[in-house]
Amino acid sequence: MKENMVSRGRYGNYGGQYIPETLMSELIHLEESYEFYKKDTDFLKELDTLFNEYAGRPSLLYYAEKMTKDLGGAKIYLKREDLNHTGSHKINNVLGQALLAKKMGKTRLIAETGAGQHGVATATAAALFGMECEIFMGEEDTRRQALNVYRMELLGAKVHPVKSGTRTLKDAVNETMREWASRVDDTLYVLGSVMGPHPFPMIVRDFQSVISREAKAQILEKEGKLPSAVVACVGGGSNAMGAFYHFIEDKSVRLIGCEAAGKGVDTALTAATIATGSVGIFHGMKSYFCQDEFGQIAPVYSISAGLDYPGIGPEHAYLHDTGRAEYVPVTDDEAVAAFEYTAKTEGVICAIESAHAIAHVQKIAGSMDKEDIIIVNVSGRGDKDVAAIARYRGRDIHE
């Protein structure tokens, strides 16, 4: 036993398992189960069927011709994760983890959610697998996203408004961890991003890596060459990690993560972890976090509830430090403009999260060569954001 009891799940200096002892046995059990099933052909076949027959994969790689012409430089392709069942990339990870949970004999799924995308995806998988489901959501967010709360309830989940701390996403993660520590035997915590203690960053990345596996094959088929850049938004970083993963080895491909700068990186109202944070240890991992001078986790802000998280996954921290990926801040204003631009130019209402990635494409595409190709990951659809964007523009619309 001793030999195995060393730090696992490292990306350079980042990652690890900084978690109470109560959860360690279960994390080890989860890792062992995952290592077994990821090589099990039946498991992989079942997951493939779920992806293709239920979630609607493979997702399209769409040539955004009007956007390309308008920006006047690199050819732009949209990876359409917004077309997945439940409307975002979140379903990829959730189906994988729910299937794993079923194989492990679990009958109950719990999860945190910010805007509700991950909660809805988890509730969906629980309904499909006939499992119990409880979702933890900051009280503040349950008010802002009342429609998603009802959606989760419609799918059979129980939604717990989290009243501790800042009553937002990080507190929802805290509360889900506390719940898991009180009941592990029949329950899997379906973590929603490439964060938390090992093995979650690895498991979530692997399930999300279907995005880059498909995108790489699709672009080679359409263009016969690799893209010059892959661009994705980053909160915890699961859609970006999925979009980057199979391109990491292709050194010619620039990997660009777009963080939520909120009102700007020089203000306190930001969630840009790489731009404004520093190294710390929180939520089970060593990585970059927004924190104060005493290591207290800072409240963060973004118009996008999905990017409103004070940390970033440890593999991103590593890709940042090694220079393999670049991380850039994008403000609320820029994201809202990109949200509207994408709707008008391509007829695609993308999630406000994804609009952060498109905003950066707007900045760089024009100065790139016509031979260059950019793949931008449209991580989700924007129906959930329409009312908020209207309010941002001064129209008082409520769902």
Partner 1 sequence: MSKIREAFSNSKAFIAFLTAGDPTADCTVNYILEMERAGADLIEIGIPFSDPTAEGVVIQEASLRALEGGITTESVFQIVEEVRKQSQVPLALMTYLNPVFYYGYEAFFSRCHSLGVDGIIVPDLPFEEKAEVERVAARFGVDVVSLIAPTSKERIRTIAKEAKGFIYVVSSMGVTGVRSKITTDIAGMVKEIRAVTDTPCAIGFGISTPEQAAEMAGYADGVIVGSAIVKLIEKYGANAGEELYRYISSMKAAVK
Chosen residue from 282, 288, 327, 339 binding partner 1 by CB under 8 A = 282
Region 168-197 residues binding partner 1, contact defined as CB under 8 A: 170-171, 174, 177-178, 181-184
Under rule CB under 8 A, residue 20 binds partner 1: yes
Under rule CB under 8 A, residue 12 binds partner 1: no
Of 10 and 85, nearer to partner 1 (C-beta) is: 10
Query: Listing from the earlier edge strand, what are the strands of the sheet with 108-113?
Result: 158-162, 132-138, 108-113, 187-189
Chosen residue from 39, 294, 347, 396 binding partner 1 by CB under 8 A = 294
379 is catalytic: yes
CA distance 38 to 241: 18
- Sole residue written with tokens 């696992």: 8
Chosen residue from 84, 124, 168, 291 binding partner 1 by CB under 8 A = 291
CA distance 157 to 133: 5
Q: Is 171 helix (H, G, I), strand (E, B) or coil?
A: helix
Under rule CB under 8 A, residue 308 binds partner 1: no
Cβ at position 181, least distance to partner 1 in Å: 5
90 is catalytic: yes
Under rule CB under 8 A, residue 19 binds partner 1: yes
Minimal CA–CA distance to 93: which of 107, 111, 77, 79? 111
Dump strand ranges (E) for 244-335.
254-262, 278-282, 284-289, 325-331
Chosen residue from 146, 220, 268, 281 binding partner 1 by CB under 8 A = 281
Which of 79, 90, 170, 216 is the catalytic position?
90
* Contact stretch for partner 1 (CB under 8 A) within 21-29, 106-114, 342-350, 382-390: 21-29
Token duo for residue 279: 């190294």
CA distance 387 to 395: 9
* Contact stretch for partner 1 (CB under 8 A) within 20-28, 206-214, 217-225, 315-323: 20-28
CB distance 89 to 55 below 8 Å: no
Amino acid at 73: G
CA distance 354 to 267: 22
Query: Which residues, 6+ apart, have CB-to-CB distance to 104 below 8 Å?
Result: 29, 30, 33, 188
Cβ at position 9, least distance to partner 1 in Å: 10
CA distance 306 to 367: 30
Which of 112, 214, 259, 353 is the catalytic position?
112
Which of 33, 212, 304, 379 is the catalytic position?
379
Under rule CB under 8 A, residue 367 binds partner 1: no
* Contact stretch for partner 1 (CB under 8 A) within 77-85, 222-230, 260-268, 294-302: 294-302
Under rule CB under 8 A, residue 143 binds partner 1: no
Of 184 and 359, nearer to partner 1 (C-beta) is: 184
Under rule CB under 8 A, residue 105 binds partner 1: no
CA distance 363 to 40: 44
List beta partners, residue 232: 257
Under rule CB under 8 A, residue 297 binds partner 1: yes
Cβ at position 231, least distance to partner 1 in Å: 31
> How far does the chain reach from its first CA to its final CA, in angstroms?
54
- Sole residue written with tokens 């802000």: 301
Q: Which residues bind partner 1 (CB under 8 A)?
A: 1-2, 5-8, 16-26, 164-165, 170-171, 174, 177-178, 181-184, 280-284, 289, 291, 293-297
Catalytic residues: 90, 112, 379
